[in-house]
């Protein structure tokens, strides 16, 4: 299914661990996360920045839907709601984390 939807041939599999992100987003607004998408096997970085971030209401609404309908949040849902996972290139994502942890504004 992943190949049909995205063209990705990598067979890496994380099961349904993607469901954790909506839970963290819905119940921990003080956390920041990004998903590094290059390299074939995405991974998510989660941290608590020293400077509070503004809440993204749309992202919170997406996350609350996912929490309320967790069993319906399948891979197709994940592909349709990728923005909830804040996808970025690895270099940009790591730069953002470093700046955030230093308390700098991007």
Residue 84, helix vs strand vs coil: helix
What token pair was written down for 63? 């996350």
DSSP class per residue in 37-57: -TTSS-EEEEE--SS-----H
Residue 36, helix vs strand vs coil: strand
106 residues of the chain, pLDDT tens digit each: 667 777 777 776 667 788 888 888 778 878 889 999 887 778 899 998 877 666 677 777 777 777 777 777 777 878 788 888 899 999 999 999 998 888 755 4
**What was the pLDDT predicted at 52?**
66
**What was the pLDDT predicted at 94?**
92
Give the residue extent of every domain in the chain.
18-102
Residue 32, helix vs strand vs coil: strand
**What was the pLDDT predicted at 24?**
83
Backbone angles phi, psi at 52, to 5 degrees: -55, 145
**What was the pLDDT predicted at 106?**
47
Cβ(36)–Cβ(95) below 8 Å: no
């Amino acid at each position: 299914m992943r190949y049909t939807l995205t063209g990705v041939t990598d067979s890496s599999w994380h099961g349904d661990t993607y469901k954790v992100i909506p839970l963290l987003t819905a119940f921990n607004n003080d956390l920041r996360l990004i998903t590094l998408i290059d390299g074939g096997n995405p991974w998510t970085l989660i941290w608590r920045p020293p400077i509070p971030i503004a809440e993204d209401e749309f992202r919170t609404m997406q996350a609350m839907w996912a929490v309320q309908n967790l069993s319906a949040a399948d891979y197709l849902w994940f592909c349709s709601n990728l923005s909830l996972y804040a996808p970025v290139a690895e270099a940009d994502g790591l730069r953002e984390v470093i700046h955030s942890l230093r308390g700098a504004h991007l």
